[in-house]
Structure 1
Amino acid sequence: MEITHSIFDFTPTQKTFVTIGTFDGVHIGHQKIIKKLVDDAKSANMKSVLLTFFPHPRMVLQKEVSIQLINTIKERTKYLEQLGLDYLIIHPFSKEFSRLTALDFVRDILVNQLNTSKLIIGYDHHFGKNREGNIEQLTEYSHLYDFDVEEIPAQDINDVSVSSTKIRKALLGGKLKTANKYLGYNFPLAGKVVNGKQLGSKIGFPTANIAIIENYKLIPKTGVYVIKSKINNELFFGMMNIGNRPTVDGKDQTIEVHFFDFNQNIYDQEISVNLLYFVRDEQKFESINDLKNQLKIDKETSISFLKSYANY
């Protein structure tokens, strides 16, 4: 997959099959659209192009609203790359770009810049200034500018329509199993391992404290999770706590991972963990000793879960 960071740097030498969207989460509904795009492009002996945007349009147009995204742009790129696309365009979204009318977008971007032969879009897709463009307008413009349009219907699981919004709500509500099912993969958190207060080591549960740089990255509900991580090309499992450590200080939120059977120095290293199972809510204990006893129970619960996990 070739990555371009501006629509205007993309110079196709042949007609393309295109899809457009923010694709936050790259969930199973998104994957269905992209698979359709890739397969159709290959069948027509053309190139598949996915156009996405960063910053997310809401970061630009609704700055007063604190947005939480399922993926960082690095994660989104990683998951998109796994889907067999020929080209990924990550265009910088701006207020100026948002003022393009639906007609301007179709004529100047889809037709003249991307050389679109077929546009494949998801259910209820809107585009252009004030989101004025819809499937009806696209169909009308497609006849004018000689390209095809295909709309993919909503992807359902047990009659529940999959969406990035529902996945965010599931993660914030501690419904990790639902979120992972809709994503089609285990939700990731990535950041740099930084120095902590070493309390974990003192009570027999040393932790790696993860600092996430991207302030827009969604942090799931506070509590204890079972996780996995690939470190130096080796797979490790463990348990992670997201929370304010109410038993100790109850101040800033931290993300702390205790790896099982692990003895490596990973300070200042960038690591990514995938969340497999939600163990329990965060709680305040009467003493450090009570906390230590609960951590032992959490570890037993985690290992019990992992015994039924395919890769453990």
Structure 2
Amino acid sequence: MELIRGIHNIKAWHRGCVLSIGNFDGVHLGHQAVLRGLVERARRLNVPACVMVFEPQPQELFARGEAPPRLTRLREKYARLAELGIDRLLCVRFTPEFAAQSPDEFIRGLLVDRLGVRFLVVGDDFRFGRNRGGDFNLLTQAGHVFDFEVVSTQSWRMENRRVSSTLIRRALAEDRLNDAARMLGRPFSLCGRVAHGAKLGRTIGFPTANVALKRRVIPVAGVYAVELKRGERRYPGVANIGHKPTVNGTKALLEVHLFDFAGDLYGEQVEVELCHKLRNEQKFASFALLKEQIQRDAASARQWFGLAVSEPNGM
């Protein structure tokens, strides 16, 4: 799948496509239904299937600290969209200047002149342009003028199931991992690159893979039984997601201790699936008490996976 970073990188040969616009946060089952319909129409029209997303997401610009936590970062979203057969991902930088353009500029300048849209899928509540003056009805009217069809995402609703990114966030916040997985079509996971940490875990027999999350807000927090995906293999383990209050941590971090694993993960991009929540993150009065709790957490996670409880070993 081709990634087009910014409107300035749209070339003449990119004209002519079917397009859907949205956040597609989580690329959940509802999104998947919409995108399969988009790909099907693209194949019928013999043009590329294109998805437009914004970075940052509009709420992150306007609401700033009040914006909801993301389910997926752009890198993860790219991988999910590629799996669905999308041909191009256009990532538009969402700035105050871009938000202030008129609805007509957005339609004529971007959708018609640059992209040559033949078929457009957006939500009924999609708003765009200065003061959010553009809406679904305006796009439909423009479609009659510029000869492109506009369809609501409701055309591909999941039957008998209401699915939304908001509902998935709520399920995660309420520790309903199974409900979130059903709406996503897969277990909820976090991705990132393994980096060097303070290596405090090694001093107590629990070395960890430290994954920098690079998110403003994390949709989950606490201690979980997890599986780390590395290529085609999966490794069970226990993970802490949060800010490490016992050692006065400030940045959000995912720390994973893998059971019965020997190897080097430094520098690797990994995906960690959350399987079962063990407890909330908490601050302990001493490092010794933290060590005792980590031992209990590891034993609980091993039991959840059906593994023999053993003494901690190296990773």
- 2:222/2:240 contact within 8 Å kept: yes
Aligned residue identity for 1:302: F
Does the CA-based 8 Å contact 1:222-1:282 persist in structure 2? yes
CA distance in 2, matches of 1:140, 1:260: 59
Show the counterpart of 2:218: 218
Q: Structure 2: how far apart are the matches of 1:122 and 1:218?
A: 26
Query: How many angstroms apart in 2 are the aligned matches of 1:125 and 1:158?
Result: 23
Alpha-carbon shift at residue 68 of structure 1 (Å): 2.1
1:36-86 CA deviation, whole Å, 9 max, x = no partner?
Answer: 111011012222121111121223333353552111111111111111112
- Count of residues in correspondence between the two structures: 300
Matched, 1:192 2:178: no
Q: Is the 8 A contact 2:17 2:48 kept in 1?
A: yes
Query: d(CA) in 2 for partners of 1:114 and 1:290?
Result: 56
- The answer on whether the counterparts of 2:236 and 2:305 sit within 8 Å (CA) in structure 1 is no
Determine the C-alpha separation between the residues in 1 that align with 2:110 and 2:51: 13
**Cα offset for 1:206?**
3.1
Where does structure 1 lack aligned partners over 5 or more consecutive residues?
305-312
Counterpart residue identity of residue 223, structure 2: G
Distance in 2, matches of 1:45 and 1:269, equals 38
1:302 corresponds, among 301, 305, 309, to 305
C-alpha distance 50-245 of structure 1, shift in aligned 2 (>3 A): closer
Letter in 1 for 2:295: K
More helix by share: 2
Residue 131 of structure 1 pairs with residue 132 of structure 2:
yes
Identity of aligned residues (%): 32
Change (3 A) 1:275 1:136: same
Find the residue that maps to 1:138 and give its secondary structure.
helix
Describe how 1:169-184 pairs up with structure 2 within 5 A. 169-184=170-185
Cα distance change of structure 1 residues 72 and 87 upon mapping to structure 2, 3 Å threshold: same
The within-5 A match list for 1:264-275 is 264-275=263-274
Aligned to 2:310: none
Say which is worse superposed, 74-83 or 202-211, in terms of deviation: 202-211
Provide the rounded CA distance (Å) in 1 between the counterparts of 2:52 and 2:176. Answer: 31
What is the letter of the counterpart of residue 264 of structure 1? G
Q: What is the deviation of 1:16?
A: 1.8
Partner of 2:75: 74
The alignment partner of 2:125 has SS state of coil
> What's the CA shift for 1:197?
5.2
Q: Counterpart in 2 of 1:235?
A: 234
The answer to which of 194-203 and 161-170 deviates more is: 194-203
The 5 A counterparts of 1:8-27 are 8-10=8-10, 11-12=12-13, 15-27=16-28
In 2 relative to 1, CA 290–230 (structure 1 residues): closer, same or farther, beyond 3 Å? closer
- How do 1:71-220 residues align onto structure 2 when only pairs under 5 Å count? 71-153=72-154, 155-156=157-158, 159=161, 161-196=162-197, 198=199, 200-212=201-213, 214-216=214-216, 218-220=218-220
1:283 CA displacement: 5.5
Q: So what's the TM-score if we normalise by structure 1?
A: 0.84
SS at match of 2:66: coil
Of residues 166-175 and 34-43 in structure 1, the stretch that sits farther from structure 2 once superposed is 166-175
